[in-house]
A and B are shown apart, each in its own frame.
Chain A
Amino acid sequence: MKIFRYAFQTVFKSLWREKWINLLTILSISIGLSLLTSFIMITLNMDSVLQRWAKNFGIVVYLDEDINKAEENTLKNRFLKDKDIIEVKYISKEKALKELHKTLGANALVLEGLDENPLPSSFELRLKSSLIEPGLVKNKAAQIERISGVDEVQYGEKWLSSLYAVSKTMKLGAIIIGGAIFIAITFITYSTIKIFFYRRKEEIETLKLLGATRSFIRLPFLLEGLIIGLLGGIMSSLVIFGIYSFTSLKMVEFLPSINLVMASLPFQVYLIVPLAGAVVSIVGSFIAVGKIRY
């Protein structure tokens, strides 16, 4: 506590004396953090949409024409035991035809006059999510195709690879842009604290000669950085809260189904953002103060 007493006094004086620079810094940090958070939220929302789509992804295993009931059951058991497969659905020839009827609707007439059901029976398999990746699915499909009794395996190969590509680019973009914003925020605090440090250079020289330790000299700058970052973060939280409440309200009004798409903003975000601001700013201040040599 005694270590912080003088540092706090120094910081509050400095916060007040340099209020315009500080305010500007806090604003910049809050803008940066708001951008970062919106960006992360957008990415997460989009990703959750992709995830939901991916969940519906299944592969269809068509069985040989001449397969019998017992063989079908062996296959089913084999699929059920497979750890990569989380759901197995059997579709008999008859059911397949019925569904075709349903889909064709009025056009089902084309099916009249068929004296034999031309459709094969099949299994619809859903793979565990970690496997939903173009290469892995391809391998799995090939593996299943080699099993005796299996005629053909089909899945939306194009669809899967484009979904995968979109998700991958999005993640990469998120990392790059997010990282850039992070560095920018660090730099904002860095330059502000650097200015303060240079302004007090003479004083710091004297402090050193009087026997002040490194931590005594550093602490006020780190504290100031921390407070600036924290305030920037709190401001950003308020902005995010405002924007989020407003947009979700408007969006639901115009596009009720958007609710399904918008992942809710977890309340932790309002704590994490100020914390992130504080941490990033402290890092910036630490770099700004640099190594103190006697």
Chain B
Amino acid sequence: MISFTNVSKSYEGELILKDFTFTIDKGEVAYITGPSGAGKTTLLKLIYCAERPDRGQIVVAGWDINKLKQRTIPFLRRNVGIVFQDFRLLYNKTVFDNIALALRIHYVHPNAIREDVNAVLKEVKLSHKANTFPQQLSGGEQQRVVIGRAMVSKPTVLLADEPTGNLDVDTSQTIMNLFREINARGTTVLIATHNHDLFHGTGRRVFFLRDKNIEKEIIG
């Protein structure tokens, strides 16, 4: 579903990833971990084409990133749900509208949007906050809105960047359960985190990122 072959990426001459190679299979849940600044977010950005590799091949859901034209990038992103580390919520729109946006850009019919968004709101346990604005939510609630937005379009791949960054243990567990459910419906899930508790005992593959490459790969 996701494959990197000898990918190198640098910012302004500074190498972040070097000859990076890995593969995430269809239907997998996998984790990327590593110290702050190791390049986890960069790795995810390469997957959804917010950054381009200097060298190497990246294939996502059958799309070869290097051959992607500007105008086809949106169509790749439609297959990829993203939980951004910095949320990227629209603060002038309600919770409902923030989640609905992921469907509106696909021109989904309003009735279908209402149905799907309400279902997702139930799943992320925010039905009662549908008409509030993000500023009125706690960090954990905002986090769940972002997850709701990433899952509402039923993407083939879900990328989650530090999805439990500022959550307590209980809420983190709720969110991890959510990812498990999303995965059970066939979505491939890739989670970047430095919280080792998230993958302990999951039996899933974990990639340790350090010094521009994979330091080790373990089963969590």
Contacts and interface: CB of A to CB of B under 8 A. Distances in A.
B218 interface: no
Nearest to B75: A211
Interface stretch (B105-113, B123-131, B134-142): B105-113
A210 B102 contact: yes
By secondary structure, the A interface counts as helix
A203 B92 CA distance: 10
A61 B48 CA distance: 85
Contact of B78 (A202, A211, A293): A211
A206 B102 CA distance: 10
Interface stretch (A1-9, A69-77, A276-284): A1-9
Contacts of A210: 77, 82, 101-102, 105, 149
Nearest to A294: B73
A216 to B, nearest CB: 5
Given A206-B88, A294-B49, A294-B70, A211 B109 contact: no
B207 interface: no
* Count class of interface residues, chain A: 10 to 19
Interface in A203-217: 203, 205-214, 216
A198 to B, nearest CB: 15
A219 to B, nearest CB: 11
Contacts of B88: 205-206, 209
B104 interface: yes
Interface string B49-77: 11000000000000000000011011111
Given A203-B90, A211-B75, A293 B48 contact: no
B82 A209 contact: yes
Nearest to A10: B104
Interface in A186-222: 202-203, 205-214, 216
Given A209-B84, A294-B49, A294-B70, 18 more contacts: A2-B107, A2-B109, A3-B107, A5-B107, A6-B107, A203-B90, A203-B92, A206-B90, A210-B102, A211-B76, A211-B102, A211-B106, A212-B74, A213-B71, A214-B71, A216-B105, A294-B50, A294-B74
20 contacts: A2-B107, A5-B107, A6-B107, A202-B90, A203-B90, A206-B90, A209-B48, A209-B50, A210-B149, A211-B75, A211-B76, A211-B80, A213-B71, A213-B105, A214-B71, A293-B70, A294-B49, A294-B70, A294-B73, A294-B74
Across the A-B interface, the 7 shortest Cβ-Cβ residue pairs: A211-B77, A212-B105, A294-B73, A211-B78, A2-B107, A213-B74, A211-B74
